[in-house]
């Protein structure tokens, strides 16, 4: 499964850089395939392991404020792996063939 999520503290001031860095650190230390861009971090793995990482990242962000905003989108496709890059590669191949 792929999970794209964005987590940020509320009431922590204008910049959330350190809180987001704490969350991304947890994701990267998980050892699961992941990618972070300007809006979301996407992580790939089995349901329980991915949700555990999201939970721990959310808890880390919670230490920076009194409230946390979490946005999560999941692509649940049993039996598939390598989709973090595979989905993008298929789109790029389609664009190249045009």
Q: Name 2's Cβ contacts closer than 8 Å, sequence gap at least 6.
A: 42, 43, 44, 74, 75, 77, 83, 84, 87
What spatial distance separates the first Cα and last Cα of the chain, rounded to whole Å?
Answer: 29
pLDDT in tens, 49-80: 999 999 999 999 999 988 999 999 999 999 99
Of the pLDDT bands very low, low, confident and very high (cuts 50, 70, 90), residue 13 is confident
Of the pLDDT bands very low, low, confident and very high (cuts 50, 70, 90), residue 11 is confident
Q: What is the dihedral sign for C-alpha 10, 12, 17, 19?
A: negative
Where along the chain do its domains lie? 2-96
pLDDT of residue 14: 79
Give the CATH number of domain 2-96; options: 3.40.50.300, 3.20.20.330, 3.30.70.930, 3.90.1150.10. 3.30.70.930
Check whether 12 has a pLDDT greater than 90. no
SS3 call for 23: helix
Largest Cα separation within the chain, whole Å, is 50
Mean pLDDT, the chain, as a whole number?
94
pLDDT of residue 26: 98
Q: Which residues pair with 3 in a beta bridge?
A: 43, 74
């Amino acid at each position: 499964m792929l999970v794209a999520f964005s987590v940020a503290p509320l009431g922590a001031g204008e910049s959330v850089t350190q809180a987001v860095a704490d969350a991304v650190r947890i994701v990267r230390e998980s050892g699961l395939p992941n990618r972070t861009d300007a809006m979301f971090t996407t992580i790939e793995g089995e349901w329980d392991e991915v949700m555990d990482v999201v939970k721990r990242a959310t808890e880390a962000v919670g230490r920076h404020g009194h409230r946390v905003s979490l946005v999560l989108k999941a692509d649940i496709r049993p039996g598939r792996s390598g989709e973090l890059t595979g989905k993008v590669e298929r789109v790029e191949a389609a664009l190249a063939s045009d």
